[in-house]
Structure 1
Amino acid sequence: MPSVSEPPLLAGTAAIILAAGSSQRLGRPKQLLPYGNGVLLDAAIGTARRCGFAQTVLALGGSAAAVLAAVDTAGCEVVLNPDYGQGCSSSITAALAVLRPETRAVVLLLGDQPGARAESVPPLLRALAAPEGPAAAVCRYDDGVGHPLAFSSALLPDLAGTHGDKAVWKLLEQRADDVVEVPTPGRVPLDVDTEEDYRRVLAELQGAR
């Protein structure tokens, strides 16, 4: 029997953690950069675990073997995306293919964005679940919109048909009338693409302690 400290499973919800990139700009696997008491990808997986999703899908591609050898992926359904070089949309498509039939909402988390908070997710899901709710919900931070992003099942076919790195945002623009921005405290969490980005997220982590 689960302990009382464990979050309840959110029936019909799934997380997709996008962590398949080849880290070309960084020059080394960013998923395995030291961060806190583990590595960068641990933070995103930890966020998903704290949310208590019914299903968590982890999309890997570049450096997949090294990641699987080093990272605790317990509780994640791992999907290997051989087409990761075609952008994150290919990982989304691969992950959507293994979702359970009863999935009602999907939350996208970035594997290189350790500052995303589990507390940001429930308001997104509540927005989707509202009567006449939207097809998608995004975090409206103090300085702009950003991840996590949530999509209702009605929008998943469109999401599966996207192509390229920025296609998700293009889809949200195309469906702007059916997207709600959920007020979320703080600034858009940093994602790591370069050494400078990495130094910044480490500085933020140190400042939060």
Structure 2
Amino acid sequence: MSEHSEDGGESTVIPIIILAAGPSSRLGQPKQLLQLQGEPLIHRITRYASESNTGPVVVVLGSQAKKIQQAITDLPVHICVHTDWKKGMGSSIKAGLKFVEKKFPAAAATILSVCDQPFLEAGHFMSLSNAFRKKRSEIIASKYAGTFGVPCLFGKRFFSSLEKLRDDQGAKSVLEVHRNEIAFISFTKGNVDVDTAMDWEKVQTLISSKPY
């Protein structure tokens, strides 16, 4: 795998953007800071992203940014504080992408990820980036439970489509438009995420019943 430099000097650099700006309003507390096996969820996801050696990791923060950033200070990541996070997921995607394009202008692609898929591990980030490097496609999505979505990879030619997202749209809208071009990577339990207290109880039950 190619090395990457701070200035994004390699064309094979694939930054990972972790979207973690939301307020977790349905949960009633920051999901980013939920403790899973003694580790904050944001730390777990960010650590796996870093361990994948896919490329630089950019974490987009918004609600309670300072508090959440403190949970990942030991990790080699870049922080993008998005002050307009209330506008929605699309605005966070655009903020993260703008950060990537400025700091890593030679990036050949980027991976969009969220912070609340507890079964996401380094190997999946590697599978997405390897599929791109092997030229399977320039748009690659995770497939799970009869659907598809994040984490997903977009080659540079799709950056303009992401930049045109409405503030309230997610990456799925771009995936839908280009569905016939997508290469899919299976992600076991990728459908498990954390939006409510009930979701979190389910996650803890699944984690405790390893192997999963």
Q: Structure 2-normalised TM-score?
A: 0.85
Q: List aligned pairs for 1:2-21, cutoff 5 A.
A: 9=3, 11-21=12-22
Letter in 1 for 2:125: V
Letter in 2 for 1:202: Q
Letter in 1 for 2:33: L
Q: Give the % identical residues.
A: 26
Q: Report the secondary structure of 1:41's partner residue.
A: helix
Q: Higher strand fraction: Structure 1 or Structure 2?
A: 1
Q: Distance in 2 between matches of 1:141 and 1:176?
A: 15
CA shift for structure 1 position 58? 0.3
Deviation per CA, 1:87-143: give whole Å up to 9, x if none. 111111111112101101111111111211221223322332344x43310122354
Q: Distance in 2 between matches of 1:140 and 1:67?
A: 29
Query: Contact 1:45–1:73 at 8 Å: present in 2 too?
Result: no
Structure 2 portions without partners, runs of 5+: 5-11
- Alignment-derived partner of residue 89 in structure 1: 90
The answer as to 2:56 corresponding to 1:52 is: no
Q: Distance in 2 between matches of 1:116 and 1:79?
A: 21
The answer as to 2:189 corresponding to 1:197 is: no
Aligned pair count? 201
Structure 1 portions without partners, runs of 5+: 1-6
Q: Distance in 2 between matches of 1:165 and 1:202?
A: 30
- Alignment-derived partner of residue 105 in structure 1: 109
Which of 169, 172, 175 does residue 172 from structure 1 map onto? 175
Letter in 2 for 1:197: D
Q: Report the secondary structure of 2:118's partner residue.
A: coil
RMSD: 2.1
Q: Distance in 2 between matches of 1:9 and 1:37?
A: 31
Runs of 4+ aligned structure 1 residues displaced above 6 Å come to none
CA shift for structure 1 position 9? 4.3
- Alignment-derived partner of residue 144 in structure 1: 147
Q: Distance in 1 between matches of 2:87 and 2:52?
A: 29
CA shift for structure 1 position 193? 0.8
Query: Contact 1:144–1:187 at 8 Å: present in 2 too?
Result: no
- Alignment-derived partner of residue 4 in structure 1: none
CA shift for structure 1 position 189? 4.0
The answer as to 2:70 corresponding to 1:69 is: yes
Q: Distance in 2 between matches of 1:176 and 1:70?
A: 36
CA shift for structure 1 position 73? 5.2
Q: Distance in 2 between matches of 1:156 and 1:129?
A: 17
Shifted more, 184-193 versus 26-35: the winner is 184-193
- Alignment-derived partner of residue 36 in structure 1: 37
CA shift for structure 1 position 185? 5.2
Query: Contact 1:84–1:91 at 8 Å: present in 2 too?
Result: yes
